[in-house]
Structures are given as C-alpha cells and as structure tokens.
Amino acid sequence: MTDARPGADGAAQTAAHPAIRFQNIGLVYGRGTANEVEALKDVSFDVRPQEFVSILGPSGCGKSTLLRLVAGFLNPTSGSVSVGGVDPENARTNGLLGVVFQSPVLLQWRNVIENVGFLLELQGVPRRKRQETARHYIDLVGLGGFERHMPHQLSGGMQQRVSIARALAFGPSVLLMDEPFGALDALTRDRMAFDLLDIWKRDKKTVLFVTHSVQEAVFLSDVVIVMTARPGKVGLIRPIDLGRPRTKDHRLQMEFVEHCRVLLDELEADVGYH
C-alpha cells in the first residue's frame, strides 16, 4: 500500500501554502488567430489543503481548461497557478498531482492491474510493490477479481473506475477530477461518491472536482464554485457547511436543498433561463 498518511505526501500539504492557488488567471486559446477564444478571465481563488472543492458551470465555460492549468498541461495567458506553492509542472513531475479525465484513458493492450500500476512503473517502483498497491486500489473501487481483464472486456463505468484507481495508486496529495462520474449509471455514481469521500478523508487529499450535478457538488464538497459562461469567471463561491461524514440523510435536509437552490439559481441566471 502507498504511504498516504498526512505529511507523507509532500509540499502540497504544508500549511504555509494553499493546495492550489489561481491568481488572476486569463486563458486565450489560439491568440492572434481567427479562432481566438477567450476561455477564462480574471479567475482567482484558493483551494486549501485537504479541502474538497467542486466546480459547476455551463458547458464551455472553461472548467476543463482550469484543471489543465493545474495539471501543468497548459500555461495561462495571464496570471499564475501554483500547487502547494510550486508551479504545476513541478508538482506533476514530483507526483503530487493525480488526474481523472471525463472519459477513461486506458492503455488498451494492458490488463487492469497493469493499467493501475502504470504510473508507478514510470516512477520505477519495483514490480511486487506495484502489484500490491494496484491490487489495493482495484479492491477499493470495487473491481477485485477483474485484475487480468483487458479494458475492452469492461463496461464504461468499470473502465472509469480503473482510471480512478490509477490516479489514486501513486498517492498524489492533489486529485483533479473532470466529470469523472459522467459515464456511470446512477447507482454506481452514487456508490462512487461515497467511496471517493472515504478515500478523501482517509488519505487526506485535496480534491478539485468538476461536475454538472448540483446535488453531487453539494453532497461532496466543502466549497462549491459556480463559473459564469465564457469567458469563464468566478460567479459564486459557496461554502457548504453541512456536517461530515456525509450520509444519505444529508440530502433530505432543508440546508442541503437550500444550497442546491442557491447554486441552481446562480447557474440559471447566467444562462438566462429566467
């Protein structure tokens, strides 16, 4: 098993720095070309260590772009992003970041256990240790018994759970998740939400989570951020002061429903449903 105790996973957990800091971020795709798109404008917010923060916003408002900036796959046109006080590329190469994309990106010619252990292999972790860690996370996402299956033998939801296990397996302190449950059926999605909260709490991770579901965002998060339509800006930052651990009963509470209503109003106001 990977060592994911608090303090075992590096700079992103130090109290002196926010886990993620966006400072006046602007992002323009194709600058100076006919296809120029201003995706983000003046985005500033912090995610604190071990906080669970969700982002809601209309399609095309720059949610995936924000995650790509944190992952160091993209550089901002203006402003700066830091992860635990260091630049994103540095954080990624030091293994502080785990990324789960909207659709699973698996190596088709490798079985489940080899896919889950892949990032550990890149880090030079010996085979036995790799397999042991991979097995632990395969069990955790409910895929025990499927270690030797190939990706094409799994449903879309199972493939997505493989990519979640892979992201968790090398013990990143910051987890970036881009609509990770979008392809799952409602029951599996619900179960994965509980599993994710267990993992988050136990391994003391910071999570930045993109979703289209207002209820999912409220259920999971400490803070929900609503972004406005393109160019994406921060429309609302709403702390979710429901107790933890979250249970099914939380969804029936007045406070839960009220959080959902406020967030939905903000979303709808922006796309002009009123």
Ligand X SMILES: Nc1ncnc2c1ncn2[C@@H]1O[C@H](COP(=O)(O)OP(=O)(O)O)[C@@H](O)[C@H]1O
- Residue 33 makes contact with ligand X by CB under 6 A: no
Minimum CB distance to ligand X smaller for 133 or for 211: 211
How many angstroms separate the CA atoms of 217 and 262, rounded?
A: 13
Look at residue 218 and give its three-state secondary structure: helix
> Are 242 and 251 within 8 A, CB to CB?
no
Residues 61-100, mask of contacts with Mg ion (x by CB under 5 A)? ---x------------------------------------
Is 272 exposed, middle or buried (CB count within 10 Å of its CB: 0-12, 13-18, 19+)? exposed
Which listed range, 58-66, 106-114, 120-128, 239-247, lies at the site for ligand X (CB under 6 A)?
A: 58-66
Say how far apart CA 41 and CA 76 lie, in whole Å.
10
Q: Is 61 in the site for ligand X (CB under 6 A)?
A: yes
Q: How far apart, in whole angstroms, are the C-alpha atoms of residue 49 and residue 45?
A: 13
30 binds ligand X (CB under 6 A): yes
Rounded to a whole number, what is the distance in angstroms from the first to the last CA of the chain? 51
80 contact, one of ligand X, Mg ion, none, CB 5-8 Å limit per kind: none
18 binds, among Mg ion, ligand X, none (CB under 5 to 8 A by kind): none
- Candidate residues 15, 59, 249, 252; the one interacting with ligand X per rule CB under 6 A: 59
* Number of residues binding to Mg ion, judged by CB under 5 A: 1
For the CB of residue 37, give the shortest distance to ligand X in the complex, in Å. 5
Q: Nearest to residue 72, comparing CAs of 57, 53, 91, 54? A: 91
Say which amino acid occupies 201. K
Residues in the site for ligand X, rule: CB under 6 A? 29-30, 37, 39, 57, 59-65, 230
